[in-house]
Amino acid sequence: MSAPPTFDEAFRRSLRDLFAWRRDVRRFRTDPVPEAILRACLDEAHLSPSVGNSQPWRFVRVADPERRAGVAASFARCNADAALSYAGARAGQYRALKLAGLREAPVHLAVFCDQGTETGHGLGRATMPEMLRYSVVAAVQTFWLAARARNLGVGWVSILEPGAVTALLDVPAAWQLVAYLCVGWPVEEHADPELARHGWQAREPLDLTER
C-alpha cells in the first residue's frame, strides 16, 4: 500500500485559487484542445465518488456538425422562451447575457446518468435513487476542476430540451441527460462569476444553519 500524500499550506492555497478561478465559460477561442489534455481531464473525472461505486457517468463527445447544430437550435428555442418569462429591465438584461458558447467551443461533451446500470448492485440508492444523478454531478465538477487546472474553460449549458438532445445523440433509453458541456480555451479570464460581473446576481455569503 502506498503512503498517502501530504497536502501542505501551499497546496491548499493553490486549491482555493482553483476553486475561485473555476468559472462558467461562455466565450471560447476556436483553437483545438489536444486529445491528451481532454483525455487526462476525463480520466480524473473518472476518479469521482459515486454511490455504491456505481460510476454511472457516461460521457459522449458530440463532434457531428448536424448534431451540434441541433443542440444549438434547442438552446435558441429555450433561450427565446426563457426571455419571455422576464419583464421590463430584467428582460433586456437577460437578452444581453451570453449564456452559451455552443458555436465557438471546439469540444462538446454530453454527460449522461446511466439509470439502468447494475454496477454497484444498487447499494445506497434504494431510498434515494437520485444519488445516481448526484454521482454524475460530482464527476462533472471533477472534470471542471481538472480542466481549469490545465487552463481550459468549461461552460455548463442548461438552457436545453433534455429529451431533444437525448434523441439527437441516439443514446440508450436508460441514459438521462445531466449536463451539456462546452470545453475550450477561454477568451478572457475572471475570478468573479460572469452573472455577478454583469449585474444579474451577486454571490451571497455562506449561510450555515444549526439545529
Q: Given this model, what pLDDT does residue 90 score?
A: 94
Query: Which residue is it, cell 470545453?
Result: 183
Instruction: Say how many Å lie between the first and final Cα of the chain, rounded.
Output: 41
pLDDT at residue number 187: 95
Other CB atoms within a 10 A radius of the CB of residue 124 amount to 17
pLDDT (0 to 100) of residue 2: 84
Cell of 207: 449561510
Grid coordinates representing 193?
462569476
The predicted pLDDT at position 165 comes to: 97
Taking the CA atoms of residue 70, residue 75, residue 77 and residue 78 in that order, the dihedral angle to the nearest 10 degrees is 140
d(CA 152, CA 33): 8
For the chain, domain boundaries = 23-188
Angle ∠(117,123,125) on CA atoms, nearest 5: 80
Beta bridge partners of 24: 154
pLDDT at position 7, please? 94
User: pTM above 0.85?
Assistant: yes
Per-residue pLDDT of the chain (211 residues; tens, 9 = 90+): 789 999 999 999 999 999 999 999 999 999 999 999 999 999 999 999 999 999 999 999 999 999 999 999 999 999 999 999 999 999 999 999 999 999 999 999 999 999 999 999 999 999 999 999 999 999 999 999 999 999 999 999 999 999 999 999 999 999 999 999 999 999 998 888 899 999 999 999 999 999 9
What number does CATH give the domain 23-188?
3.40.109.10
Residue in 211, 3, 193, 180 with CA at minimum distance from that of residue 97? 193
The pLDDT, as a whole number, for residue 191 is 85
Strand ranges for 145-201 from DSSP E:
153-156, 175-184
By residue count, the chain amounts to 211
